[in-house]
Amino acid sequence: MVAVGVNQPAPVFIPGLLTVWRGAMLALGLAAIVPASAGDVRSHGAPSKGYTDAVARAKRLIEADDSVAAPGGATILMVHGGRTPRAIVLFHGFTDSPRQFAALADSLYRSGDNVLVPRLPHHGELGKNAKELAHVTAEELCRTADGAVDIAAGLGDSVVVLGLSVGATMAAWAAEHRPEVRRAVMIAPAFEVTHVPSMLEKTLANIGNHVPNMTRRAAPDSARPDREAGIATRGLAQVLRLGIAVRRDADRLTPYQAEMLFLVNANDHTVKTAPVLDVAREWNRRGSPVSVYEFPDSLALPHNVVDPLQRPTNASAVYPTLQALVHGEQPPRFLRVRT
């Protein structure tokens, strides 16, 4: 009789636990199949009316950054005092800041280009950590790309966009939606992440948007106060949502006369190359000039090939390649051409 008394609460507790478990599984199931909206990913472009207007808009971005950006994290503008044949927009990667492209921006500027490197939303903020990245949305990234192209339209006769990772996805979006873009250089776009089967990519993005954010922090780097050390699952899900939107639009939108140049990395263990090739084939089928180049595995480059703290041997291979692609010149012969 004593044993029965001790075990008596069990029939009450177990059904309650099963109810909670079933509810959690139902919530996850719904999150997996109910699409998470990427927001308004249409273009709402308003091109600047000329050089003076463009510089004024860029200065407003920089002034806004002054109150929130960590050292090295603010928008970069490098101009020659008037319109140039090319205006270059550089979109940095997820968790990074405009400092990522500071050296490349300087090189392009010295070659005669006007250059803009906008800070992405919720990036490079003073006193913030990776948790701030949970507030990033695909819609905000599109608005940032729109605003940057608006400014660049007044800085130069031809607009060229280049980006890395999510920045590459933004460059692809700009080429799909903005007629001002004449060339897009997309380095390792974040269409799909490695270690996740392609058939589960949309499910991962949907779950990440519906369930509470999880932040994985890393030890901060005192040499990079402008960079969020770690990752936030909601922000990453929004990055993937933007990639899904760009790939969806590739099936129905032809880039506006833009030359499309993909640059992937055989040693990349962060994003996949296969979806890049799929998008390139679709754009080619629609009549857009698309080329896909690949850094060889022998260079042992990381996903972030434009890290300002990378080894000099890597920089000597990467920077001439990027400058050649931006300028529409023949890239180095060590690059592999993918089809």
Domain ranges of the chain: 1-34, 48-338
pLDDT in tens, 209-254: 777 888 877 777 777 777 777 888 889 999 999 999 999 988 887 7
Residue 173: per-residue pLDDT: 96
- In CATH, the architecture of 48-338 is 3-Layer(aba) Sandwich (3.40)
Under a CB-based contact definition with an 8 Å cutoff, are residues 103 and 95 in contact?
no
Give the sheet arrangement for strand 181-187, strand by strand: 76-78, 114-117, 84-91, 156-164, 181-187, 259-265, 290-295, 336-338
pLDDT in tens, 29-77: 545 455 555 678 899 999 999 999 999 999 999 999 998 999 989 999 9
Walking along the chain (339 residues) 10 residues at a time, the average pLDDT comes out as 42 41 43 58 94 98 94 95 98 95 96 98 89 93 98 98 98 96 97 79 71 77 76 89 92 83 96 96 90 96 86 81 97 94
Residue 206, SS3 per DSSP: helix
- Output the CA–CA distances (angstroms, integers) from residue 335 to 51, 54, 178, 263, 324, in the order listed: 36, 36, 29, 9, 12
CA distance 196 to 44: 33
Q: Is the dihedral of CA 310, 311, 317, 323 positive or negative?
A: positive
Q: Are 136 and 121 in contact (CB under 8 A)?
A: yes
